[in-house]
Amino acid sequence: MLKTDYSCINRDCLHPCINCASKDAPDSCTSCVDGYFLAGDSCTKCKDVCLRCSGLNTCTACTKDYYLLDGKCTPCEYPCITCISKTFCLSCGTDAEFRNLPPTCSCKSIYFDTGKTCDKCILPCDKCTASNVNSCSTCITGYYLSGTMCAFCPSSCISCTSPTVCTSCYPGYYLKGNICSPCVYPCLTCATTVFCYTCYDDVSTRYPAPDCSCNTRVLKFFDNGK
């Protein structure tokens, strides 16, 4: 007996028989290899998407891109690549990721679901409903959502929710209410006008940050923030 694919195949039987009636009748099958089913004393091939079957129209196991539903092999729906049901994915496409429990696959940010594929949004959309700049639902950093389009944040803002509401600022600015205000010289970066993170290199400082006051050898008007 020769072990193949978890079955013991009789050398005297003809493929796709696992076992046959006798040595003198090698094509009179009594059992079949995976991918075939026994019809009388013959092995008949299952449908291509069936890994195993008990009849031509009754699958018992499916190939990796399909799942079993009422004896039929039903294709997994993209962005699922492999699945055990319509709502339980085992792996996702490269442009998708797992979400929820049981696990389903959803298109990643900057992609949108067409129902068959994950198509890329057009920047500066982060999430969108179609592949055009008029169909944004969220924006990448540095832009805010205005209707269904993404608009530039003010130049001093890293991120914002509107042209008048900044949520984070570039170095050299600090968040004051909803706007980004410039740090006051000799502060290079700051949290407020009186709390410096770093000082300008070309300014001698009497104290380290958070105090960047000028020393007596530097013109006094620097201390006035001019």
Alpha carbon distance 202, 48 (integer Å):
75
Contact 186, 203 (CB under 8 A): yes
Handedness of CA 46, 47, 50, 53 (dihedral sign): negative
Question: Is residue 97 classed as helix, strand or coil in its secondary structure?
Answer: strand
| pTM, entire model | 0.59
Collapse the DSSP code of 222 into the 3-class scheme (helix H, G, I; strand E, B; otherwise coil) and give the result: helix
pLDDT one-digit tens code per residue, 136-169: 999 999 999 999 999 999 999 999 999 999 999 9
Return the percentage of the chain with pLDDT > 70, whole number.
Answer: 86
Count the neighbouring beta carbons within 10 Å of the beta carbon of residue 210. 15
Q: What is the Cα–Cα distance from 26 to 9, expressed in whole angstroms?
A: 12
Mean pLDDT throughout 163-176? 96
pLDDT band of residue 11 (cuts 50, 70, 90) is: low
Domain locations in the chain as residue ranges: 1-62, 76-120, 183-226
Choice among 2-6, 102-106, 126-130 with the minimum mean pLDDT = 2-6
pLDDT band at 217 (very low <50, low <70, confident <90, very high): very low
DSSP codes joined into one string, 103-153: TEEEEPTTEEE-SSSEEEPPTTEEEESSSSTT-EEEE-TTEEEETTEEEEP
Of residues 175 and 8, more confidence is placed in 175
